[in-house]
């Protein structure tokens, strides 16, 4: 498989060539299936803790082929569940611990990349969520008020009125914005490709163009990873396959692969950015229901993405789904709606799947009895969550009773129920997309919050 035709891959320093594929049989201490952020950070953290380990990474294409190499480039402290849902499920103390670790991990990720000599264009300018209607402003100010009840102060999340928000960025129809400093802009492909080089220098073996066909577990014996060209026995096998998990035998209902698509413009003039802002490379979105996300790249482009692609029956993952002309057109019109002064060609269009569990809760599991481990289910918030999860994996693989800031996170050790059988999940997920679209249409047309939006909020937590 070739890398996606994204802005990120097009602006790497050198062409990508695949490493050798797995052939024959190998024995290692830890085999990691998936060469994205989760797999590579896990390899890095294992080798930093114990340089004598034999670690192998197996990637079906090239490292970063999946979401790690084509995402929106937000290294954020976002968690897929709302504050209210986290507190209701695990309590305020667990919520506070989770929030603290995620906040600290944004800068820790940047420091780790810098320590390893990876220039991932890391710029921690924070993130803006625009209110572009009275309804959105009401929701966002209520969100800030609720955050205060959970101990989140103005240094972590603040409301900016329209004038203060325009000092950072000036989209059309701005009623205000929330701002958090806990987000950094990155070049995702530079980060993942750099991580691959780093772990190789640490002694990790990477096999690319190696599609794993199954993981075999036998009582009293090491688990075995099997591919077309070879196999590996390991004390631990880590599954780090995220949006491609449903392609593995027996795991079609573990997560659903939701497609997120992106566009990028040609570089824009300094006068344009003087007018629009984002001088600190803040990431941005607005409070519509159908998610959008954007950043200003180091070479002064917009990289802009969002949801809107349908879920495909049977959790099917195919390359042809990476492109959807209707969604690309919607993204381009939305970007022009946000910034009417934009007069630039769209130079890149791309997309691919991310993984969403049924309860939208990430998971980290390590079973010392079987040697199986996994991490993922980030629902699109995986840049920092993968770093956090990899640290938890490394801690628990090396010590089953490890008590660290990472292993104490409330989603470590949790698992989600499988998604319903088809056609229930196809109907339900695509109905959710239609609800989001209808809610946004209602709010634009009538200027009031829709019942569809309230229902969607309850369903998604």
Residues 6+ apart with CB under 8 A from 100: none
DSSP reduced 3-state for 126 = coil
Percentage with pLDDT > 90 across the chain: 92
415 burial class (0-12, 13-18, 19+ CB within 10 angstroms)? Answer: middle
DSSP reduced 3-state for 400 = coil
pLDDT digits (tens, 9 = 90+) for 368-399: 999 999 999 999 999 999 999 999 999 999 99
Q: How far apart are CA 25 and CA 326, in angstroms?
A: 46
Q: Which residue has the tokens 């104490």?
A: 408
pLDDT digits (tens, 9 = 90+) for 97-113: 999 999 999 999 999 99
Q: Are 144 and 157 in contact (CB under 8 A)?
A: yes
Domain spans of the chain, in order of start = 1-122+183-257+358-419, 424-461
Residues 6+ apart with CB under 8 A from 294: 72, 283, 284, 285, 302, 303, 304, 305, 335, 338
pLDDT at position 4 is 61
Q: How far apart are CA 405 and CA 388, in angstroms?
A: 10
Mean pLDDT over the full length of the chain: 95
Tokens of 388: 């956090």
Number of helices and strands (H, E) in the chain? Answer: 12, 18
pLDDT digits (tens, 9 = 90+) for 326-357: 999 999 999 999 999 999 999 999 999 999 99
Higher pLDDT, 294 or 3: 294
Helix, strand, coil content of the chain in percent (nearest 5):
35, 25, 40
Q: How far apart are CA 36 and CA 69, in angstroms?
A: 8
Q: Average pLDDT in the 258-279 region?
A: 98
Q: Average pLDDT in the 66-87 region?
A: 97
pLDDT at position 333 is 97
Q: How far apart are CA 322 and CA 324, in angstroms?
A: 7
Q: Which CATH architecture has domain 1-122+183-257+358-419?
A: 3-Layer(bba) Sandwich (3.50)
**Quick one: which of 99, 105, 38, 114 has its CA closest to 71?**
38
**Any idea which of 15-19, 50-54, 199-203, 452-456 has the lowest mean pLDDT?**
452-456
pLDDT at position 454 is 72
pLDDT digits (tens, 9 = 90+) for 147-175: 999 999 999 999 999 999 999 999 999 99
pLDDT tops 80 at residue 460 = no
DSSP reduced 3-state for 442 = helix
pLDDT digits (tens, 9 = 90+) for 403-449: 999 999 999 999 999 999 999 999 999 999 988 998 888 888 888 88
Tokens of 272: 């344009």
Per-residue confidence band for 220, with pLDDT thresholds at 50, 70 and 90 = confident
pLDDT at position 1 is 52
DSSP reduced 3-state for 158 = strand
């Amino acid at each position: 498989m070739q890398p996606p035709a994204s802005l990120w891959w097009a602006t790497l320093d050198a062409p990508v060539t695949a490493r050798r594929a797995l052939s024959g049989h190998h024995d290692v201490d830890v085999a990691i299936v998936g060469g994205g952020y989760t797999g590579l950070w896990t390899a890095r953290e294992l080798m930093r803790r114990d340089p004598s380990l034999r670690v192998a990474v197996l990637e079906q294409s090239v490292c970063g082929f999946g979401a790690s190499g084509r995402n929106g480039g937000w290294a954020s402290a976002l968690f897929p569940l709302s504050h209210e849902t986290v507190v209701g499920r695990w309590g305020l103390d667990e919520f506070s611990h989770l929030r603290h670790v995620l906040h600290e991990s944004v800068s820790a990720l940047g420091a780790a990349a810098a320590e390893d000599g990876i220039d991932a264009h890391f710029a921690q300018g924070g993130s803006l969520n625009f209110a572009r209607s009275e309804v959105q402003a009401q929701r966002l100010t209520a969100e800030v008020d609720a955050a205060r009840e959970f101990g989140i102060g103005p240094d972590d999340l603040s409301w900016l009125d329209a004038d203060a928000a325009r000092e950072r960025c000036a989209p059309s129809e701005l009623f205000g914005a929330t701002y958090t400093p806990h987000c950094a802009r990155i070049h995702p492909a530079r980060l993942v490709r750099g991580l691959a080089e780093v772990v190789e220098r640490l002694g990790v073996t990477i096999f690319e163009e190696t599609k794993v066909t199954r993981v075999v577990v036998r009582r009293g014996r090491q688990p075995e990873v099997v591919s077309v060209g070879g196999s590996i026995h390991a004390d631990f096998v880590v599954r780090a396959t995220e949006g491609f998990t449903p392609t593995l035998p027996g795991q079609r209902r573990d997560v659903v692969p939701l497609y997120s698509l992106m566009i990028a413009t040609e570089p824009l003039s300094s006068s344009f950015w003087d007018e629009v802002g984002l001088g600190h490379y803040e990431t941005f979105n607005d409070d519509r229901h159908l998610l959008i996300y954007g950043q200003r790249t180091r070479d002064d482009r917009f990289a802009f993405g969002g949801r809107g692609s349908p879920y495909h029956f049977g959790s099917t993952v195919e390359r042809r789904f990476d492109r959807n002309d209707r969604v690309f057109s919607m993204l381009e019109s939305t970007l022009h709606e946000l910034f009417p002064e934009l007069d630039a060609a769209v130079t890149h269009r791309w997309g691919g799947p991310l993984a969403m569990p049924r309860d939208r809760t990430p998971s980290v599991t390590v079973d010392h009895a079987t040697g199986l481990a996994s991490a993922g289910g980030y629902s699109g918030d995986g840049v920092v969550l993968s770093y956090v999860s990899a640290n938890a994996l490394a801690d628990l693989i090396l010590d089953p009773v490890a008590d660290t800031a990472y292993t104490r996170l409330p989603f470590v050790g949790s698992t989600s129920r499988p998604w319903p059988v088809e056609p229930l999940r196809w109907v339900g997920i695509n109905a959710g997309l239609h609800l989001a679209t209808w809610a946004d249409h209602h709010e634009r047309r009538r200027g009031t919050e829709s019942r569809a939006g309230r229902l969607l909020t309850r369903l998604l937590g």
